[in-house]
Homo-oligomer: A and B are copies of this chain.
Amino acid sequence: MQRMTRQRAAVVDALTNVDEFRSAQQLHELLRAGGNSIGLATVYRTLQTLADGGELDVLRTQDGESLYRRCRRREHHHHLVCRQCSRTVEIDGPSVEAWASQVGADHGFTDIEHTVELFGTCEACRAGDTSR
């Protein structure tokens, strides 16, 4: 059975107030800064649970960190993420899905899963390039 706790509510709330992909640690800090007392392990667990339930999208950065985000669209889609500020655009690859399973079948593979993510530098970050 799933219980609604103060902590879980806080995590969900934080996620709805943020539009970019954020790491568990970042969210933990955010919550603490916002006056919420919550343990890091709890943040991890909650994100895990939400992600399993399809409430959240997970993304792994090039250096292996997991980033989480509550997406508008619940159906399967992909992301275009700014590698500096994490600004995110939801996109769909019209033919990607079909292509993926086709290629898989062609080579005798089943249960095809695919990972398609785009990274780039967004307009705002390109302008303020002097930072960092």
Contact = CB atoms under 8 A, between A and B. Distances in A.
A100 B93 CA distance: 9
Instruction: Using C-beta atoms within 8 Å of the partner chain, give the interface range for chain A.
Output: 20 to 34
Given A80-B109, A95-B95, 19 more contacts: A60-B60, A60-B62, A60-B64, A80-B103, A80-B104, A91-B103, A104-B118, A104-B120, A109-B118, A109-B120, A110-B120, A111-B120, A111-B121, A112-B118, A113-B118, A113-B120, A114-B116, A115-B118, A116-B116
Interface of A: 60, 62, 64, 66, 80, 82-83, 89, 91, 93, 95-96, 99-100, 103-104, 107-123, 126
Chain copies in complex:
2
